[in-house]
Amino acid sequence: MIDFISQPWHWSFSGFMIVVVMFILIFLGKRFGISSSFKAVCSVAGAGKRFEYFRYDWKGHDWLFVFVIGTIIGGAIASTVFASPEPVAISQATISDLAELGISYPSNVEENPGFIPLDLFTFENLATARGIILMVLGGFLIGFGTRWAGGCTSGHAISGLSELQLPSLVAVVGFFIGGLLVTHILYPIIFNI
Amino acid sequence: MRLIQFLLTGILFGIVMTKSEAISWFRIQEMFRFQSIHMYGIIGVAVILGALLHFWLKKTSLKNSLGKSFSFKDKPPLYKAALFGGTAFGLGWAMTGACPGPLYVLFGHGYWIIGIIILAAILGAFVYGALKSFLPH
């Protein structure tokens, strides 16, 4: 059983399982969406005293905090009990493109299971321009952008599109405009200086 | 008891995100270079099955766990916010290689550096809330 779950999943099964999670949340009377948690943290910390946006009944979001704690625990379980025997099998074309930027791909899971580029995302790199752009500015834009757009991949791309919501389609177009700009324009610049 | 349901659902989501490899910075690189069907396949299957699910939920007379009918609120028609905010998030998605769900999952893997990205995201949400009235929606 554990071996069966531990092998890398086919994308069609993964897509199905995401819908299972979405259905459970809908059945429990909630909407699938993670980025609201960033707003909820600000509200709990008292940001509502200064800004109207954070004045809402965040206690009604207690389930979201518990769900987020669950995802953290789920990550811990998946990385230990259900760890894959091989690194994430990305395409050869991506491996070559990343090699041109000087980012190497791990050859075995002991070196790196292939979830984050371990030599790039380090505390030491927070002292470099590249590290600040990728981690601090990148994180900032995730919070700022998802709250502006009113959702992230879960809220807009998965639930919004499957509810056939037009604003969600516009948001997903935006996700790709931003993602393509960074991948094809920003990365070549920041990795060649 | 009510909250335990959400804890268990969250644990399932963390496992699904990991095994789907949607939390991988490398998979996101591959997606934005159009070099594999992997991420498009996951999102495509989820959207198509999700659309069928919503279609069924709108017709069914079954009730949810609270004993209520299934109802879905329309997203507010804020197209400028969706486009500009979506683009800002897209920049961050490609920079960090993770969207909000995967950030929490990766933190659970023990990649503590991801905590910095989560803190920066919370700061970003705060700055949005402070500047909201000055931004186009």
Q: Do the chains contact at A26 and B68, CB–CB below 8 Å? A: no
Min Cα–Cα distance to chain B from A150, Å: 7
On whether the CB atoms of residues A129 and A114 are closer than 8 A, the answer is no
> What domain range is A191 assigned to?
120-193
Q: Is the pLDDT of residue B130 over 70?
A: yes
Q: Is residue A16 part of a domain?
A: yes
Q: Is residue A111 part of a domain?
A: no
Q: Is residue A178 part of a domain?
A: yes
- Report the number of distinct structural domains present in chain A: 2
Average pLDDT score over residue span A122-130: 96
Domain ranges of chain B: 2-36+73-134
pLDDT band at B24 (very low <50, low <70, confident <90, very high): very high
Q: Is residue A98 part of a domain?
A: no
Q: Is the pLDDT of residue B1 over 80?
A: no
Q: Is residue A109 part of a domain?
A: no
Do residues A79 and A25 both lie within one domain? yes
pLDDT band at B2 (very low <50, low <70, confident <90, very high): confident
For chain A, the straight-line distance linking the first and the last C-alpha, in angstroms and rounded, comes to: 48
pLDDT digits (tens, 9 = 90+) for A16-63: 999 999 999 999 999 888 999 999 999 999 999 999 999 998 888 899
Which of A5, A11, A69 should one mutate to test binding to chain B, selecting the residue with the greatest count of B CBs within 10 A? A11
d(CA A86, CA A106): 10
Min Cα–Cα distance to chain B from A125, Å: 10
Q: Is the pLDDT of residue A193 over 70?
A: no
Q: What is the pLDDT at residue A59?
A: 82
- Residue of chain A whose alpha carbon sits nearest to that of B6: A67
Do residues A9 and A79 both lie within one domain? yes
Q: Do the chains contact at B83 and A34, CB–CB below 8 Å? A: no
Q: Is residue A34 part of a domain?
A: yes
Tally of CA atoms within 13 A in the half-sphere of A158 that contains its CB: 28
On whether the CB atoms of residues A25 and A155 are closer than 8 A, the answer is no
pLDDT digits (tens, 9 = 90+) for A145-171: 999 999 999 999 999 999 999 999 999
Radius of gyration of chain A (CA): 19
Radius of gyration of chain B (CA): 18
Do residues A79 and A125 both lie within one domain? no
Compute the mean pLDDT over every residue in chain B, rounded to the nearest whole number: 96
- The CA distances from residue A187 to A66, A162, A179, B5, B75, in Å, are 36, 32, 11, 41, 33
Q: Do the chains contact at A28 and B104, CB–CB below 8 Å? A: no
- Residue of chain B whose alpha carbon sits nearest to that of A5: B19
Do residues A78 and A131 both lie within one domain? no
Average pLDDT score over residue span B65-93: 94
Do residues A1 and A79 both lie within one domain? yes
Q: Is residue A101 part of a domain?
A: no
